[in-house]
Amino acid sequence: MSDDLLVSGGGSISVGTPGLFAHARLLENLERELRECALALEGRESAVRSRALAGTSASAARAEDAIDDASEHLRAAATKSGALSAALRLTADAYGMTESTLQRLARSAASEVGIGLGFLSTTVGLLLIPGILSVLAGGASAYLLIAAISPTAASGVRKAGVDWLNENKVILSDPRFVQLVRLAVMSADDFGGGALRLPTPVIRLFGDEGLGLLGLDTSAATIASAAGLVGLARETPVAVRATAIGASTPATGLADRASRVPRGSAQVRIDRHVRKGGPDRFEVYLGGTIDFSLAATDEPWDMTSNLGAIAGADAGAYRAVTEALQAAGVRSDSEIVVTGYSQGGLLGSMLAASGDYDVRGLYTLGAPVGQVPVPGEIPWVAIEHTDDIVPAVGGTWSSSDPVLVRREAFSDKAPDPEFAVPAHQLSHYRHTAELADAAGEGRLVQVTEAFSRSMRGADRVESTWYEANRLPG
């Protein structure tokens, strides 16, 4: 796997690798040190000059000339170091501006395509629907006939279909396909407007490129409503209970926080930082999706909660998190730092965007959060793999500006065959977090220090794990 990181955002247009920014800092330091050396030499020169004028040293004049030459070379080297540093930073700025421009153009093109396809769908779709239904009916009839004649043959047909999906699932890990999905979800509202035959200026006015009244959230709400008509994606009450309690230590970095994300039946972990003479502070860790079915079971970390959260509507998992926070003693004025993976990152960003909590830091891994409007004053690190389709379904980064760390998890080898979306595995995100800790990039250092600063001064740390379940009805 490639260990190359690309760091962007955080209030800066610069986009580059940590190595690029590190070299720029080294050159800046070198420039400063060279100028200090030149000043020190020039200070010595005055003493040599006084001796030369007094005639006490025959070599003093030559020493003065040598000092002049050395000082001149030092200042020239300092100037070149400063110019190289500036060039590196200009390169990062130019890359950032180019990337931003290309993203805007891609979003605009995707919007136009979505509107066009929407207009076509109402005409061409009506012509194709009878044929599609005939093909589906014919295929189903053929399968049922095969099953009636030979169950073994029917099993072979199913196996062939599964094998085909497994052989071709590598496309899900192609960064180009991932980017296509990101643009497609952003143009879903444009497609809908075109299908309704709304005027193009109206679609643009109310869509993501305009007032933003229609977008990914409205598309997700439409899908959730349609699923609800057939008994799917229906929300239920939830119940939360503490399952384990133990002593812990303060988190020390991005990798350490990623290692604390819950992965068992408990979906929430809350570390209470107890301080004598001061209010308690809390670190909250939220796990990823457990049930990928739209049919509600007893698991609230499911696709129903994903749809509800993206739609900005009621989500069982979000209610479960708020109940766990209340049980842990978190108040509206309690300082908290939130770490979330996948759906947990989506829930964490919703906590930060809600304004109901004093969120002092947000850290998301592989989360579909591009459209969540998190306030800019909240320090935020977002890690995503460019070959992970899950963050892409959250759309483009147009509502917030975190310090964004990107990496292609499988740039130099084939993805893990046992997973449908291998780059989304938490183990790979933990490795990327380790690389981010080791990078020493300025923006990352600043944000992670803000996380730790919020939690300093604890006399002890108590960890509690919470498990949430859906209730009938």
Residue with tokens 């030459």: 69
Q: How far apart are CA 221 and CA 140, in angstroms?
A: 31
Q: What is the pLDDT of residue 398?
A: 79
For the segment 101-122, the average pLDDT, to the nearest whole number, is 64
Domain ranges of the chain: 19-104, 113-229, 238-470
CB 50 within 8 A of CB 60: no
Query: Is the pLDDT reported for residue 451 higher than 90?
Result: yes
Question: Which helix H or strand E contains 42, and what residues bound it?
Answer: helix 18-54
Angle of helix 303-310 versus helix 316-328 axis, rounded to 10: 90
Query: Is the pLDDT reported for residue 168 higher than 70?
Result: no
Q: What is the pLDDT of residue 473?
A: 67
Percent of the chain with pLDDT over 90: 40
Q: How far apart are CA 95 and CA 89, in angstroms?
A: 10
Residue 265 to residues 271, 290, 291, 329, 473: CA-CA distances in angstroms?
A: 18, 9, 11, 22, 22
Q: What is the pLDDT of residue 317?
A: 96
More confident residue, 233 or 435: 435
Burial 215-231 (b: 16+ CB within 10 A, else e): bbbbbbbebbeebeeee
pLDDT band at residue 396 using 50, 70 and 90 as cut-offs: confident
Question: Which helix H or strand E contains 364, and what residues bound it?
Answer: strand 358-365
CB 472 within 8 A of CB 236: yes
Q: How many CA atoms lie within 13 A of 62 on its CB side?
A: 3
Query: Is the pLDDT reported for residue 69 higher than 70?
Result: yes
Nearest to 81 by CA among 16, 37, 18, 45: 37
Q: What is the pLDDT of residue 85?
A: 73
CB 309 within 8 A of CB 317: yes
Q: Which segment of 177-181, 315-319, 405-409 scores lowest on mean pLDDT?
A: 177-181
Nearest to 310 by CA among 367, 232, 355, 240: 367
Cut 0.85: pTM above it: no
pLDDT digits (tens, 9 = 90+) for 218-266: 777 777 777 777 778 889 999 999 999 999 999 999 999 999 999 989 9
pLDDT digits (tens, 9 = 90+) for 192-204: 666 666 666 665 6
For the segment 5-20, the average pLDDT, to the nearest whole number, is 76
Q: What is the pLDDT of residue 166?
A: 61
Q: CB count, 10 Å around CB of 58?
A: 8
Q: Which segment of 127-136, 152-161, 346-355 scores lowest on mean pLDDT?
A: 127-136
Q: How many CA atoms lie within 13 A of 201 on its CB side?
A: 0
Q: CB count, 10 Å around CB of 131?
A: 9
DSSP assignments along 152-193, one per residue: HHHHHHHHHHHHHHHHHGGGGG-HHHHHHHHHHHHTHHHHHH
CB 310 within 8 A of CB 333: no
Q: What is the pLDDT of residue 425?
A: 95
Nearest to 426 by CA among 362, 340, 301: 340
Q: Which of 19-33, 66-80, 138-152, 310-324 is the most confident on average? A: 310-324
Query: Is the pLDDT reported for residue 100 higher than 90?
Result: no
Question: Which helix H or strand E contains 78, and what residues bound it?
Answer: helix 60-149
More confident residue, 32 or 126: 32
Percent of the chain with pLDDT over 70: 70
Question: Which helix H or strand E contains 84, and what residues bound it?
Answer: helix 60-149
Q: What is the pLDDT of residue 1?
A: 47
SS3 470: strand
More confident residue, 74 or 305: 305
